[in-house]
Structure 1
């Protein structure tokens, strides 16, 4: 098991880690709009490992047509600290040093404290943002990470990506959760934040599972 979290006062919102809260959809952070979607990707360990590897190598973002720029690891030694359990509660710090990994094209895998700039548009809506990796989880049956906005986005907030291999059914599920508070004037109009989020979720799904999925 590996869990890593980087927490610093540089993100532009207060509720760091709230995408892990079980009651996010009922009680989102103030002025934020929550969203959640889950898809079945298949079943079995091979499917889980393939999907997890894709997720941690930024496939959801890159295959969705978004460009990653200025990807930087955390300054100094990698810090792995407070993480969150399945109920969203903080757990004991983990000081294990995390070795940086790279995809075949040289892109660094997701790592705690990493910063990056995302560039692109989704159905005409801006997806540009400066982001920080808040946490990374690598367990026997769960892989995922959390991204938080630092600035430069039309919204402020957080999104989490999780691949789970369920022990009771052997099924592999991909879950994306987010909360967004509008920043740009256009996105304060009714429905704009939700529309942008729906389009992003759809792109993430196709990126991780291009052949089939069952939405719930």
Structure 2
């Protein structure tokens, strides 16, 4: 398992790690709109490994039409942060560092504490944002990560991406959870835009990870 997060005070929202909370949909962070969806994308270890590799190399974001810029690994010194367990509760800092991996174009794979900028539009709305990787999970049957907003976005909050290889059924599931609070005047005035933006993002992420998918769970 490899988990870790950012140093406190670097994101623009308070409920860090709330996408890990089991009751996110019932009790979202104040003033935010939660969203969650899961899709079965196949079965078996090969599908799990391939999907996990795609996820950690930013496939969901890039194939969804978002451009990655200024991708920076966490500083090698002074980085501790907070980690979270499966229930979203903070646990002791994890200082273990793994060797950084890169894709064919030289972009670093997702890693704890990394910062980046994304550019793009979703359903005619801005998807620009400065982000930080809040946590990364690499376990025998779960691979995923959490992104938190630092600034420059029309919303503030988190997105969690997880691929699970279920032991009881051998099925592989892709899950995205998020909460968004309006940051711009327009989104505070028209909250429905947040839901519209989120639905389109979820649809794009799914198409990016699995062109052939089943009915949402």
Quickly name the TM-score band, shorter chain normalised.
Answer: over 0.9
RMSD of aligned C-alpha atoms? 1.4
Check if 1:88 corresponds to 2:84.
no
Output the TM-score relative to the length of structure 1. 0.96
* Aligned residue-pair number: 216
- The answer as to whether partners of 1:74 and 1:115 remain within 8 angstroms in 2 is yes
1:207 aligned residue = 208
Q: Measure how far apart 1:81 and its partner are.
A: 4.9
2:174 aligned residue = 174
Q: Which runs of 5+ in 2 are unaligned?
A: none
Summarize the alignment of residues 142-161 of structure 1 with structure 2, pairs less than 5 Å apart.
142-161=142-161
Cα distance per residue 1:19-59 (max 9 Å; x no partner): 00111111111101100010101000000000000000000
2:186 aligned residue = 186
Q: Measure how far apart 1:185 and its partner are.
A: 1.7
Stretch moving more, 94-103 or 193-202: 94-103
Q: Measure how far apart 1:10 and its partner are.
A: 1.2
Cα distance per residue 1:142-188 (max 9 Å; x no partner): 00000000000000111100000000010000110001000112212
- The answer as to whether partners of 2:7 and 2:80 remain within 8 angstroms in 1 is no
CA distance in 2, matches of 1:88, 1:30: 17
Output the TM-score relative to the length of structure 2. 0.95
